[in-house]
Chain A
Amino acid sequence: MTASLDALQLDQLWDAALHGLPVPQPIGDLGAIQLLELLTHTTRPAPPAAFVASLEEGLGLASAAAPSPAGAELPRPTPGQRTAEPARSCWKPPQSRWVTSGYAVAAVVVVLLLSAFTVIRQLDPFEDDRAIPAAGDWTGDGPPSSLNLVPSVWFATTWPTEWLEGFSFSDWSWIGFDEGTVAAGAHSEGLNGVDAAWFPGISVVLVQDGQLAFRLSATAQVLTGKPGTDDLHAVTPSTEVTIGPGESIVYSVASFEEVWNPTDQEADYVAGGLYTRAVYPLGFPGPASHVASTGISFGDDFLAETSDVSFDLQTLVIEPGKRYAYSIGPQTLLLANIQGDGLVLQAWENGTAREKPKTLFESRYALHQSGAGYYTLTNTGSEPVQISLFRATASKSPLPASVVATDRSWSAGGSAFAEPQASVSQSPMSAVREHLPVGAITRHRPSGGS
């Protein structure tokens, strides 16, 4: 039955399927690909959230770790409770010594928290009486806009679910993020050269430098135009679209055919998207064309009863001693690519630090795993740190108050180009929603850097 696919080909195909990447070479055996899809996509039992949180605590990691996606509402029994009532789906210590160890860990955590609070106060260049809202109040006013930095490039759009006929958001489970440099003339068939229709999803691509050309088989939403102006273009089938610095494209993956660098110079891009499986937005071959990618699965309920999804892409530079503030809502996914060391992540609640600060390395992170709330990234190093962010926010209904609130929260992190006292009403996303219909795409590319 597998005569057309030998053991080595199967091995390579399986590697590619696991990581949602194009197959190493053309595979004509579609049945094999389909079976791999079934295997990798269907059989994935997930651990109970309560168990994940409980084991995390049992390992002594809870105070420093990103909590599970379910957020802070997860029950976290005390060590004593775990021993007395080892409920199913909660971690059970294999040895009773963990009871006493738990108290020791708790004591250490308290000391660490006190130390962390001291550290963050020392690092904080702002007034002690600053008002950073409670984590549970993430829809309220954000941190003072003076905390925030001007993104060098910024893009946001909203994608109504009706633009994706035939796709159920309940099937989606993967957020991907990709940042790289594309060699001159490089070409890619993207997510899957065999059949992109197998990977329903939405991709958002922002070109920072150079040019990228796309060919799409169906209508897509495309933004082109000079900085400071916004145009919404519908691309006709099989049309080539070339976008340059500061320009973006949003498309349904099912319509995607190919992407290439049409010039003799390198092109830099940032891309993100939501998918039904583990894929990355663009798949340029070659070691020099792909500098960072990350992806993480999210819960089946993230997009349940969703009417639209907002996407934000930002790149910015955090100078030494500066802080960047952002918020995470209950239906926010946020991936970050950090280029440089020295960033310290701190969660805030009621104006005080929540949990111990966490050092972030030059790497990729799923920042939404820290749960809903307000956060700051402080550059404690001596060198500027560049960070790229891709955020997806699901909305329950068109233009609800919560969407605007979400934008306000986010724009608190990205709207420093507005006057501080007017950061909410003049935030880019709010302006978009006020002046454009749902689904309209806009882009803001301030001239200044950080």
Chain B
Amino acid sequence: METDQGPVTNTLRDIDTLDAELLAAALADRAAFALLYHRYVGPVYAYCRRRLDAQDAEDATSHIFLQALSRLETCRSPSFRAWLFTIAHNVVVDRLRARKPALELDDSLGIPSNERSPEDQALDADRRERLACAIRALPADQRAAVELRLAGLTGVECAQVLGKSPDATRMLQHQAFGTLRTALADLSPGELA
């Protein structure tokens, strides 16, 4: 019996295959880790930045890649991304436990563009802030699931990072999605709702 392998599955397989190739290269030559670093420094930083202030996010990102580089041999996961974000999740959680974050998501989502009108920029800023507030207001486990999703992880990878079953993770993100949808319903009246 053939399994359903649509473009999503194929793309994810492409990503995992490429990551596996790059990981093998990095195990043979640590300098080759640069390729994986460039693939994931953005998503990892973004994940950290959503939970930490800018300074802490940089520090956390540094620790995450240091740990990853020093533990490459221990990567047994079929998904390098899931393995890397497991480290990232643990580093971020440790930092949040160590101290209350001084600042969260204040300006992390603001990417002003000179090409946009002031009105558009104001609308975008408002939308970003609304999104950020809504995500912050989620229960911790739902928020973690959403933020891992925003970092680019699949549902299965999120489950692996969070140490939950795929079904439980799906329920978490479904609940979070419903909450976000309610909170953001007025962003585009008649469409989101």
- CB atoms of B177 and A10 under 8 A apart: yes
14 contacts between A and B (CB under 8 A): A2-B177, A22-B7, A34-B192, A35-B180, A43-B50, A43-B128, A45-B45, A64-B31, A94-B66, A170-B114, A284-B7, A290-B10, A359-B25, A361-B25
B18 to chain A: which residues have CB within 8 Å? 294, 363-364
A286 contacts which chain B residues (CB < 8 A)? Answer: 5
A68 lies within 8 A of B131 (CB): no
Q: Select A21's contact among B7, B37, B61, beta carbons within 8 Å.
A: B7
Number of interface residues of B (CB under 8 A): 76
Residue A311 interfacial (CB < 8 Å): no
Q: How far is the CA of A246 from the CA of B173 in the complex (A)?
A: 46
Decide if B42 touches A51 in the complex (CB within 8 Å).
no
Q: Which of A34, A63, A356 has the most CB of B within 10 A?
A: A34
A6-B174, A10-B174 known; A59 vs B66 contact (CB < 8 Å): yes
Whether, in the assembled complex, A285 has its beta carbon less than 8 Å from a beta carbon of chain B, the answer is: yes
A93-B58 Cα distance, complex, nearest whole Å: 11
Q: Which of B18, B22, B38, B113 has the most CB of A within 10 A?
A: B38
Q: Which of B82-90, B93-101, B146-154 contacts A (4 or more CB under 8 A)?
A: B146-154
B154→A18 contact, CB < 8 A = yes
Would A280 and B115 count as touching, CB distance under 8 A?
Answer: no
* B181 at interface, CB cutoff 8 A: yes
Residue contact A44 to B46, C-beta cutoff 8 Å: yes
List of B residues within 8 angstroms of A199 by Cβ: none
Instruction: Return the chain B residue nearest A356 by Cβ.
Output: B31
In chain B, positions 45-78 with a C-beta closer than 8 Å to chain A are 45-46, 49-50, 54-55, 57-59, 61-63, 65-66, 69
Q: Which one of A24-32, A328-336, A383-391, A413-421 is at the interface?
A: A24-32
Listed stretches A84-92, A201-209, A265-273, A404-412; interface member:
A84-92
Are A1 and B193 neighbours in the complex by a CB distance under 8 Å?
yes
Q: Which residues of A are found within 8 Å of B138, using beta-carbon distances?
A: none
Q: Is the CB of B30 within 8 A of A60?
A: yes
> What 5 pairs across the A-B complex have the smallest Cβ distances?
A65-B34, A170-B115, A64-B31, A47-B45, A61-B34
Contacting residues, chain A, for B5 (C-beta < 8 A): 286-287
Q: Is the interface of B mostly helix, strand, loop or mixed?
A: helix
B21 in the interface (beta carbon within 8 A): yes
Q: Is residue A232 contacting chain B, with contact meaning CB distance below 8 A?
A: no
Using known A-B contacts A42-B109, A47-B41, determine if residue A30 contacts B191 with beta carbons closer than 8 Å: yes
Contact B182 A1 (CB under 8 A): yes
Instruction: Give a binary string over A350-378; 1 marks a CB under 8 Å from any B CB, 0 the rest.
Output: 00000010010111100001000000000
Which residues of A have CB within 8 Å of B124? 42
Which residues of chain B come closer than 8 Å to A18, judged between CB atoms? 149, 152, 154
Q: Is the CB of B31 within 8 A of A60?
A: yes
Q: How far is the CA of A89 from the CA of B62 in the complex (A)?
A: 11
B65 partner residues in chain A, CB cutoff 8 A: 55, 59
| With known contacts A2-B177, A35-B180, A46-B42, A21–B34 Cβ distance under 8 A | no
Of A14, A112, A294, A300, the contact of B155 (CB 8 Å cutoff): A14
Contact B109 A61 (CB under 8 A): no
Q: Which residue of A lies closest to B115 (CB)?
A: A170
Q: Which A residues touch B33, using CB under 8 A?
A: 59, 61
Within B130-144, the residues touching A (CB, 8 Å) are 131-132, 135
Give the residue name and chain of the B residue nearest to A90 (CB).
Answer: B58
B59 to chain A, nearest CB (A): 7
Besides the known contacts A2-B177, A34-B191, A63-B31, 12 further A-B residue pairs in the complex with CB atoms under 8 A apart: A1-B178, A10-B174, A11-B155, A19-B11, A42-B128, A43-B135, A45-B111, A46-B42, A47-B42, A55-B41, A56-B34, A60-B30
Q: Is the CB of A304 within 8 A of B115?
A: yes
Residues in B neighbouring A34, C-beta threshold 8 A:
188, 191-192
Q: Is the CB of A280 within 8 A of B150?
A: no
Assuming the A-B contacts A7-B173, A31-B191, are A43 and B109 also in contact, with contact meaning beta carbons closer than 8 angstroms in the complex? Answer: yes
Given A44-B46, A292-B14, A1 and B185 contact (CB-CB distance below 8 Å):
yes
